[in-house]
């Protein structure tokens, strides 16, 4: 079994916000004919997606962004899976809108969902796929990620979610290297053509732990 975790905040208040693009990727894949209905387990909504011979557990944590690691830890413990069987999809405001970037491991970069996952797992050796949601002004990070995409951004955001979903399926079939080769340094409009990485993303500041925002 492979585990695909999309990060976001639960509830209608946060639906469609920049911070919830991880949830959007999960919902995109769950709409397919080979996916089961969602049910609540592991402090998350989970569904099983059949992709050829692979079973992919789709996971949307219900703990709010800052405690996402609790659900990830519970899933991996229950199924006794190694870290290389999980891919986490999340937003990144240090990437331009619709830019995708996959990594086999690495720091949380200030993304509080990844931060908590790293704390819960005691390791940064899990794959992650970041989706660029545009860049906020100085001191505007929290309000920005909890905002919805502007009308002129929606098409690019929707295409990025679809491209990230395809990248996640490629990861499940062929591994993180294949996913990285397909999506890194690309935008949805690039059609998956790989470009050389030019700049390492900067970290974001951590918000208060009891805030669902970052």
Q: What is the 3-state secondary structure (H, E, C) of 16-67?
A: CEHHHHHHHHHHHHHCCCCECCCEEECCEEEEEEEECCEEEEEEEECCCHHH
- Neighbouring CB atoms inside 10 A of 153's CB total 16
Q: Is 19 a catalytic residue?
A: yes
Q: Which of 3, 7, 17, 19 is catalytic?
A: 19
Residues 6+ apart with CB under 8 A from 214: 19, 65, 66, 111, 112, 141, 142, 145, 204, 206, 207
- Given the structure tokens 């692979």, which residue do they identify? 54
CA quadruple 112, 43, 26, 123: dihedral positive or negative?
Answer: positive
- Neighbouring CB atoms inside 10 A of 30's CB total 19
Q: Give catalytic residue positions.
A: 19
């Amino acid at each position: 079994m492979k585990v695909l975790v999309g990060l976001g905040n639960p509830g209608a208040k946060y639906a469609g916000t920049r911070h919830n693009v991880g949830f959007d990727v999960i919902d995109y894949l769950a709409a397919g004919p080979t996916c089961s209905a969602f049910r609540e387990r592991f402090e998350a909504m989970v569904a099983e997606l059949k992709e050829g011979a692979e079973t992919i557990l789709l996971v949307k944590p219900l703990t709010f962004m800052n405690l996402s690691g609790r659900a990830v830890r519970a899933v991996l413990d229950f199924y006794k899976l190694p870290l290389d069987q999980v891919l986490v999809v999340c937003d990144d405001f240090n990437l331009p809108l619709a830019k995708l970037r996959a990594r086999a491991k690495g720091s949380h970069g200030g993304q509080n969902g990844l931060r908590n996952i790293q704390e819960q797992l005691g390791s940064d050796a899990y794959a992650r796929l970041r989706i660029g949601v545009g860049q906020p002004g100085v001191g505007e990070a929290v309000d920005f990620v909890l905002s919805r995409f502007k009308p002129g951004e929606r098409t690019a955001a929707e295409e990025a979610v679809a491209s990230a979903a395809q990248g996640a399926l490629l990861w499940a079939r062929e591994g993180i290297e294949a996913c990285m080769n397909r999506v890194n340094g690309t935008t949805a409009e690039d059609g998956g053509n790989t470009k050389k990485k030019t700049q390492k993303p900067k970290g974001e500041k951590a918000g208060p732990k009891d805030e669902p925002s970052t």
